[in-house]
Amino acid sequence: MIEDKNQQRTDLGQLGEFGLIEHLTKNIEIKQPSTLTGIGDDAAVLDFKDKKTVVSTDLLIEGVHFDLAYVPLKHLGYKAVVVNVSDICAMNAKPTQITVSIAVSNRFPVEALEELYEGIKLGAKVYDVDIVGGDTTSSQKGMILSITAIGEADAEEIVYRNGANDNDLLVLTGDVGSAYMGLQVLEREKEVFKVNPNSQPDLDAYTYLIERQLKPEARKDVKELLKALEIKPTSMIDVSDGLSSEIIHLCKNSGVGCNLYEEKIPLDPEFINVCEEFNIDSTTVAINGGEDYELLFTIKQDDYDKLKGNPNFTVIGHMTKESEGIHLITRANTKIQLKARGWNALSNENNEQ
Amino acid sequence: MIEDKNQQRTDLGQLGEFGLIEHLTKNIEIKQPSTLTGIGDDAAVLDFKDKKTVVSTDLLIEGVHFDLAYVPLKHLGYKAVVVNVSDICAMNAKPTQITVSIAVSNRFPVEALEELYEGIKLGAKVYDVDIVGGDTTSSQKGMILSITAIGEADAEEIVYRNGANDNDLLVLTGDVGSAYMGLQVLEREKEVFKVNPNSQPDLDAYTYLIERQLKPEARKDVKELLKALEIKPTSMIDVSDGLSSEIIHLCKNSGVGCNLYEEKIPLDPEFINVCEEFNIDSTTVAINGGEDYELLFTIKQDDYDKLKGNPNFTVIGHMTKESEGIHLITRANTKIQLKARGWNALSNENNEQ
């Protein structure tokens, strides 16, 4: 998209650092009552009154976390907000503010940053968070995004990773694996495009998967859903690195084991079809593929009736004693030890030039 | 330093992403009463009770903001903390927490990250801030640091950029220009080293300047100093991009003009000597050189007696009506309009490969 020579192209140097920040952030509104001052001073000033403050941060690097060959900049901006908001949701807190730092090489014109910022602003609007600060600078290579998300919660609402107990039920929102298969579809299209730049991809059969990859949503709704059901999870985490990896996090932090049931893992029909098309085992992808941004949590057995049959939630297993280990129970009723094979940025890095 | 082949060298891939974060953050202690939970969950949980929360963020990129040819990694880590803490100090708030995100290419061994983290931990210790979160990932090229600093203050203590009035006095802590000249000295040594790798630099005459560049300190003491003097500044900013640029920020945000007096600008004797050696005008460097991390603020004329003769503070000018503009009054009593010629990362960026 930014390769289109017909589009307007304004060099970053024309605006300068201060000019660029001003240009990108000029229409940003403040809506959260907890935001006293946003962009424009040395720091933002926030007021959480008697609420606790929740803070999380993420760094996204071109070529490591995203590939601009198939990720439109607006989607990238949106997703960067979602990824961070998801961490706040995983504490059972309400996201309220974000800060946004961007570094780009001079390969990018001002228009590309505007596009990126459009996505960031849209994400901020959809998730009702204020953009209260940030930094814009140059990079030696590619695009770098660093977002910090801030949220608020009453002390008694906050859910940590360490509260799961033996016999608690393991619950997942939505379905898993689709974001990973969406990435496989996009990477295949990129290879086709390299061979024949005039090919017109027909992606109708992959709409859901591609949307899960390019425009995931954070489960901001879950806090309210659980509140309405009068359920407080005993532990919670978001599924960013893969179900398997997140289950291990919950178990290790809580000092428990887990049985995950293969037959219970919620999969989308489109996902199952595409796994067949790619000749990949759907369970392997469902437990190891990342970037689903669903929430994974544990509840007391007593709360089961409150949540039973609710389309937002699926019970996929139960916690055990730590000594029993962490296992997948297959459809054939065999026990396989779960390993953290989630997405690992450091093992597949590129060689530096 | 990291080129030394005799040193231990552990590939990043050996530890993996989770292993690396755990390894680097394992001994981090929590000291601030406002930190309820630090590293290890989806987000940190903080409690500022009736205080306001202050948040600032900065992105530092190798080759743009620092050059590892002459910045030891430990110093870099320390400085990254200082730069962010300085923004919190510039709000007249007390820094309390930081989050640290690091991206590195596989050029860096684990030992290099340990060195960097040593500096970050030292900075956190010296400034009494808790490291409560972060992210560690790979980059396509070089090292990237993103730090978010969080602080607290009573509502009535916070000082913004927009409160300066006509006739207020302009006050600076410490001296300016030395960090910039320290960089010039280091860059000269780098060039000498390229020509003759066996040259032994004699940097005794430049100790102060080099320290100002490599190990600057944030003026965390100023909040207490001003409180003891019963002075509340009307506006405040930290001097990161150069005095001239920061004065313009204060003026624009407050809707005032300013007269800055050349003869009043505090310069260190070593700085003056080195400017002569480099044949550079010291005033030009003092007003345009960045990275001093001193605080620049305005006070009511009535407060002058409280601060007069205090070695921490120098009155360097006064605010005027906006219509009078922003000027440097030279020793020869001529008026020169101040321009924001501060350090501009976007105008001197490198070409991407």
Q: For A68-102, give the DSSP string.
A: TTTS-HHHHHHHHHHHHHHHHHTTT-EEEEEEEEE
Residue B241 counted as an annotated binding residue: yes
Looking at residue B339, what is its pLDDT? 85
pLDDT 10s digits, B175-213: 999 999 999 999 998 888 888 888 777 888 899 999 999
Please judge whether A18 and B140 are an interchain contact, meaning their C-beta atoms are less than 8 angstroms apart: no
> What is d(CA B297, CA B289) in angstroms, rounded to the nearest whole number?
18
Residue B78 counted as an annotated binding residue: no
Q: Please, what's the b/e burial string for B329-347 (b: 16 or more CB within 10 A of its CB; e: otherwise)?
A: beeeeeeeebebebbbbbe
Q: Which residue has the tokens 């321009």?
A: B339
Does B94 lie at the interface with A, CB-CB under 8 angstroms? Answer: no
Looking at residue B341, what is its pLDDT? 65
Looking at residue B198, what is its pLDDT? 81
- Residue B352 pLDDT more than 50? no
Q: Is A25 helix (H, G, I), strand (E, B) or coil?
A: helix
For A224, list phi and psi in degrees, rounded to 5. -70, -40
Residue B146 counted as an annotated binding residue: no
Domain boundaries A12-157, corresponding CATH code: 3.30.1330.10
Give me the mean pLDDT over the A238-265 stretch: 96
Tokens of A179: 């974001």
Kindly list the domain boundaries of chain B, sorted by start residue. Answer: 16-157, 169-337
pLDDT 10s digits, B287-307: 999 999 999 999 999 999 999
pLDDT 10s digits, A65-75: 999 988 999 99
Does B10 lie at the interface with A, CB-CB under 8 angstroms? Answer: no
- Preferred mutation among A14, A23, A42, A248 to probe B, highest tally of B CBs within 10 A: A42
Closest by alpha carbon to B54, among A55, A26, A316, A10? A55
Nearest CB to B346; choose among A12, A59, A133: A12
Domain boundaries A169-337, corresponding CATH code: 3.90.650.10
pLDDT 10s digits, B206-246: 999 999 999 999 999 999 999 999 999 999 999 998 999 99
Q: Which residue has the tokens 């403040």?
A: A30
Looking at residue B203, what is its pLDDT? 85
Nearest CB to B344; choose among A16, A36, A237: A16
Looking at residue B1, what is its pLDDT? 39
Looking at residue A202, what is its pLDDT? 80
> What is d(CA A165, CA B60) in angstroms, rounded to the nearest whole number?
42
* Averaged pLDDT of chain A: 90
Looking at residue B17, what is its pLDDT? 67
Residue B238 counted as an annotated binding residue: yes
Nearest CB to B160; choose among A12, A37, A106: A37
Report domain B16-157's class. alpha beta
- Preferred mutation among A11, A46, A57, A251 to probe B, highest tally of B CBs within 10 A: A57
Contact pairs from chain A to chain B, CB under 8 Å = 258
Give me the mean pLDDT over the A172-189 stretch: 95
